[in-house]
Amino acid sequence: VMDPAILGNILVGLLKNAVENTPDEGTIRILSERKDDRILLKVHDFGIGITEENQKSIFDGLFHTQETDLYTSRKPYDFNAGGKGLDLLKMKGYGQGFGFDLSVESRRCVYLPTDRDTCPGRISACPHCKRSEDCLSSGESTFFLSFPAGG
């Protein structure tokens, strides 16, 4: 059975990551389901997304998905707050120690194809999106947390 404190820390970390990568006025969904003998939690944000290249290294630690000189408010839960890249590495380590899996699927925003392209941080300020739906269909990331169902 998964330790509730560990699960809580991981969910807070994944939610924080989603908030910091989703522009204001954006959408984040948290979903859960049981699949056979596993519980699957999904944190799905409609943010800027992660390039295919960066997805290969996202759990390696000290890894940034954006050019750090172009962002970093350093205020937790702000869009583009930045960080040292340790949270996902720590979560992956917990998974190895506590028997759960953590993975990601992402699609980079079509208007921000490279790490050097920046988002204004608010959907209504984006020159490419006339409506919120335009942003919601342009990029996204889903982090999957899968662990054994108890009982």
> What gap in Å lies between CA 107 and CA 115, rounded to an integer?
13
Whether 74 contacts 18, CB under 8 Å: no
Phi, psi (5° rounding) for residue 23? -65, 155
Tell me how crowded residue 28 is: count the other CB atoms within 10 A of its CB: 16
Instruction: Grade residue 84 by pLDDT with cuts at 50, 70 and 90.
Output: low
Q: Pick the residue with more confidence: 74 or 30?
A: 30
Closest among 122, 118, 142 to 132, alpha carbons compared = 122
pLDDT value at 131 more than 60: yes
pTM of the model: 0.85
Residue range 4-148 forms a domain whose CATH class is alpha beta
pLDDT in tens, 87-111: 888 888 888 888 889 999 999 999 9
Task: Read off the pLDDT of residues 37-62 as tens digits, 9 standing for 90 and up.
Answer: 999 999 999 999 998 988 888 888 76
Share of the chain above pLDDT 90, in %: 48
* pLDDT (0 to 100) of residue 14: 93
